[in-house]
Chain A
Amino acid sequence: MTGLTANGVAHAPSRTVRTIILGLIGVIFAVPIVAMIEFTLRAGLVGGYNVDRWVALFQSGFTGVYRPVLVALGNSVALAVGTVLIVLLLLVPTMLLVHIRFPRLRRVLEFTCILPITIPAIVLVVGLAPVYAIVARMLGSGVWTLAFAYGITVLPFAYRAIQSNLDGVDVKTLTEAARTLGAGWGRVLLWVLVPNLRRGILAGAFIVVAVVLGEFTIASLLNRVNLQTALVVVSKVDPYTAVILSLLALAFAFLLLLVIGRLGAPRTRTSRRRTNVKGQA
């Protein structure tokens, strides 16, 4: 009678309205993806559909024409691992240190970590080109050197994921408790803090992987080969295969983000249980 929904959220839309909005926008957004699938199933110029291209791609085992893609994928994975390592070894300890020992630097750290979001990758490339000229001279022009650049572009994402976990855990008390029990800093970090921040760190790592696997701008303009640049090359030769690979990559990224979402979910459940216990005590 007052337009309230069953769950009492007075401003939420009715079921019908929700279905209409989501259905409409959902269908429109599905079109390009459907078009990609349709495209890969086309059977030559004569019309009709079959799954030949998919079969061909998988049976070939990525040999021959597709070999460069496999190499590029290897590069991207290596870059993702390298970038995750940089984030884990540098960002996590810094954040913890700032959180526990230098809380006043928190604003500075936050600003630094969010800054890259305001600097377009294309601008970063302009700045990086001369830097990489030097890097190449010192360390060679291996693809892995890109991990340094990616370490910066992923900062905002990794920072946000870890920080939200950090906010939910009383790091200070945990640390103090462990210290009074006689643990040194190293042990506090490894045995107490990292296990408690596992979700945030894991989510951060997954996001880093997703971003690195999807990165194109920097690799392309610094003439390095990664998954995305290889896809562009393949698309010039064999657009069908490029689209198939894109679909697979999109599906993989979707699953990755779904896992990140699931990682976040149990956290709220545990904290709810914890408050309940407190309420009964």
Chain B
Amino acid sequence: MNSQKLKVQQPTAPTRPGTVVEFVGVVKEFSGMRALDGFNLSLHAGECVALLGPSGSGKTTALRVLAGLESTDAGSITIDGIDVSALATSKRDMGMVFQSYSLFPHLSAGENVEFGLRMRKIKPAERRRRAAASLAMVGLDDHFDRFAHQLSGGQQQRVALARALVTEPRVLLLDEPLSALDAKVRVQLRDEIRRIQTELGITTLFVTHDQDEALAIADRVAVMRAGNIEQVGTPEELYSRPATPFIADFVGLSNRIDGLVRSAWAEVYGTSLALIDPSTPDGPVTVSIRPEDIEFAAEGLAATVVASSFLGSLRRTTVRLGDGTILFLQHGVRVHPRAGESVYVIFTGAPVSTEPVGPASVAQQQY
């Protein structure tokens, strides 16, 4: 685990001391299958951590274990230093937003938001005031009396967020809350969740399988794979210094090319590239190279353009090398290669991550 801890300065200082959460060696088995396999993660006070990983990697399980919706088989979970393993869900003081719509259908939006306050025996007048304020925070002040089926998917998730936050919980848990929404609403609500989270300074665990979402919303991103965390770091770290090709592949796009590590350098098609992890032992490896780290040049590797597509602010071009290897490059829109055109490409020399060639790379999970 080479998690570099780089404390990011909060844009707005938390208004109250946030909560610290720590998972230590948590194990969770479902009928012999390990969904969490010695899971370690700490959430600092007031930060938003995104749990990113392919489907089935154990993200939801990690979140549910923290909420107390699943029991653990081993390891400990502490909130502000106190072990909560024996604490029932209703006593853990967490706000949770589910992937599928979970508003109570027989209650209006306002009554849904009031539910947690009612459980805490808050007086009706104050309940109503706080519910209204919470709905206002998510921009739905005039939807107090609507029922779930009268709201769009995005609005339902907003109400669910208001419902989760109105009790001022210690930790906010979100399990792919945006995955059922369409692209535009998704981005909108994502930014709004980030705004509210920063304003409240509430410690947040955000589960997603969408890398853009994770990079956009989180102070730190934890990438999960097969019940474990592969790397934790700020979005920038993960992108520019992925610990493994799995991360490189999962966070952003990358080319995977056969290469050789020799005395702390990776050799690919006659070019020597710096390694992100200089302690990599010598031997044949798979090298991950970002598409923006390959460029067209006057001379270099001879290649033929296969296809080129316009992506708005940039262009992505696929080329085939003489030996049949396919590479893709990202570059400015002004360069416009034609299919069939002969070109030369070079590696810019940015540090790369590698993985030994072997069964491990075959078992690679793709999403």
A-side residues, CB < 8 A to B, are 1-2, 4, 6, 8, 10
User: Would you list 19 pairs from A and B whose C-beta atoms are within 8 A, ordered by A residue?
Assistant: A1-B68, A1-B71, A1-B85, A1-B86, A1-B88, A2-B68, A2-B69, A2-B71, A2-B88, A2-B89, A2-B90, A4-B69, A4-B70, A4-B71, A6-B30, A6-B31, A8-B69, A8-B70, A10-B69
Residue-wise interface mask of B (269-299) relative to A, using a CB-CB cutoff of 8 A (1 in contact, 0 not): 0000000000000000000000000000000
Q: Chain A residues near B90: list those with CB within 8 A.
A: 2
Measured CB to CB, the nearest residue on chain A to B55 is A279
A10 CB → nearest B CB, Å:
7
On chain A, the residues within 8 Å of B88 by CB distance are: 1-2
> Which residues from chain B contact A1 at a C-beta distance below 8 Å?
68, 71, 85-86, 88
Contacts of B30 in A (CB 8 A): 6
Most chain B CB within 10 A, of A2, A4, A10, is at: A2
Nearest B residue to A280 via CB reads: B366
Smallest CB-CB A-B distances: 7 pairs: A2-B88, A2-B89, A1-B71, A2-B68, A1-B88, A1-B86, A4-B69
Q: Chain B: how many interface residues by the 8 Å CB criterion?
A: 11
Q: Which residue of A lies closest to B67 (CB)?
A: A2
Q: Is the interface of B mostly helix, strand, loop or mixed?
A: loop
Q: What distance in Å separates the Cβ of B366 from its nearest Cβ neighbour in chain A? A: 9
B residues in contact with A8, CB < 8 Å: 69-70
Q: Which residues of B contact A2 (CB under 8 A)?
A: 68-69, 71, 88-90
Residues of B in contact with A (beta carbons under 8 Å apart): 30-31, 68-71, 85-86, 88-90
- A278 to chain B minimum Cβ distance, whole angstroms, is 14
A69 vs B132: C-alpha distance when bound (angstroms): 73
Task: Tell me which residues across on chain A come within 8 A of B69, comparing CB atoms.
Answer: 2, 4, 8, 10
Q: How far is the CA of A144 from the CA of B114 in the complex (A)?
A: 63
Alpha-carbon distance A230/B89, docked complex (angstroms): 62
Instruction: Return A275 CB to nearest CB of chain B, in Å.
Output: 13
A8 vs B89: C-alpha distance when bound (angstroms): 13
Nearest-Cβ distance from residue B30 to partner chain A, whole angstroms: 8
A153–B285 alpha-carbon span in the complex (Å):
73
* Whole-angstrom distance between the Cβ of B29 and the nearest chain A Cβ: 11
Complex alpha-carbon distance, A2 and B88, angstroms: 6
Contacts of A6 in B (CB 8 A): 30-31
Report the minimum CB–CB distance from A281 to chain B (whole Å). Answer: 13
- How far, in Å, is B360 (CB) from chain A's closest CB? 22
In the complex, what residues of B have CB within 8 A of residue A10's CB? 69
Task: Identify the closest chain B residue to A3 (Cβ).
Answer: B88
A1 vs B84: C-alpha distance in the bound complex, in angstroms? 11
Query: Please, how many angstroms separate the alpha-carbon atoms of A6 and B69 in the complex?
Result: 11
Residue of A at shortest CB range from B86? Answer: A1
* A10–B89 CA distance with the chains assembled, in angstroms: 12
Instruction: Specify the chain A residue showing the minimal Cβ separation from B85.
Output: A1
Q: Chain B nearest CB: distance from A236 CB in Å?
A: 54
Assembled-state Cα–Cα distance A6/B35 (Å): 14
Q: How far is the CB of B300 from chain A (nearest CB, A)?
A: 35
Q: For the complex formed, measure the closest distance between the CB of B94 and the CB atoms of chain A, giving whole angstroms.
A: 13
Measured in the bound complex, the distance between the Cα atoms of B68 and A2 in whole Å is: 7
Shortest Cβ distance from residue B119 to the other chain A in the assembled complex, whole angstroms? 15
Which of chain A's residues have a CB closer than 8 A to the CB of B89? Answer: 2
CA distance A115 to B69 in the complex (A): 46
Smallest beta-carbon distance B99→chain A, Å: 14
B231 nearest CB across to chain A (Å): 26
Q: In the docked arrangement, what's the CA distance between A6 and B32, Å?
A: 12
User: Contacts of A4 on B, CB cut-off 8 Å?
Assistant: 69-71
Nearest chain A residue, comparing its CB with the CB of B31:
A6
- Nearest to B71 among chain A residues (CB) is A1
- How far, in angstroms, from A6 to B31 measured CA to CA in the complex? 9
**Complex-state Cα separation, A2 to B91, whole angstroms:** 10
In whole angstroms, how far apart are the Cα atoms of A6 and B90 in the complex?
A: 19
Give bound CA distance, A1 to B85, whole Å.
9
User: What's the nearest-Cβ distance from chain A to residue B56, in Å?
Assistant: 12
Q: How far is the CA of A10 from the CA of B88 in the complex (A)?
A: 13
Given contacts A1-B86, A4-B70, 17 further A-B contacts (CB under 8 A): A1-B68, A1-B71, A1-B85, A1-B88, A2-B68, A2-B69, A2-B71, A2-B88, A2-B89, A2-B90, A4-B69, A4-B71, A6-B30, A6-B31, A8-B69, A8-B70, A10-B69
Q: Kindly provide the distance from the CB of A15 to the nearest chain B CB, expressed in whole angstroms.
A: 15
Question: Would you give the shortest CB distance from A84 to chain B, in whole angstroms?
Answer: 39
Q: Give Cα distance in the complex from A4 to B90, angstroms.
A: 13
In Å, the complex CA distance between A114 and B89 comes to 45
Distance, CA A10 to CA B71, complexed state (A): 13
Residue on A nearest B366 in the bound complex, by CB: A280
- In the assembled complex, the CB of B40 is this many whole angstroms from the nearest CB of chain A, namely 22
B127 to chain A, nearest CB (A): 25
Q: Which residue of B lies closest to A7 (CB)?
A: B30
Residue numbers in A under 8 Å from B85 (CB-CB): 1
Cβ distance B54 to chain A, nearest Cβ, rounded Å: 12
CB distance from B31 to the nearest CB of A (A): 8
Q: A8–B68 Cα gap in the complex (Å)?
A: 12
Best-buried of B69, B86, B90 by chain A (most CB within 10 Å): B69
CA distance A32 to B71 in the complex (A): 44
Shortest Cβ distance from residue A78 to the other chain B in the assembled complex, whole angstroms: 49
Residues of chain A with a CB closer than 8 A to B71's CB: 1-2, 4
A189 to chain B: closest CB distance in Å?
Answer: 36
| Bound Cα distance A226, B89 (Å) | 61
Once bound together, how far apart are the Cα atoms of A6 and B88, in whole Å? 16
Task: Please give, as numbers and ranges, the residues of chain A lying within 8 Å of B31 by CB-CB distance.
Answer: 6
Residue of B nearest to A1 (CB): B71
Taking the nearest CB of chain B, how far is it from the CB of A277, in angstroms? 15
Q: Shortest beta-carbon distance, B203 to chain A, in Å?
A: 22
Rounded to whole angstroms, the CA-CA distance of A10 and B31 in the bound complex is 18
Nearest Cβ distance between residue B365 and chain A, in whole angstroms?
A: 13
Report the bound CA distance from A1 to B69 in whole Å: 9
In angstroms, Cα B90 to Cα A10, docked, is 13
Q: What distance in Å separates the Cβ of B60 from its nearest Cβ neighbour in chain A?
A: 10
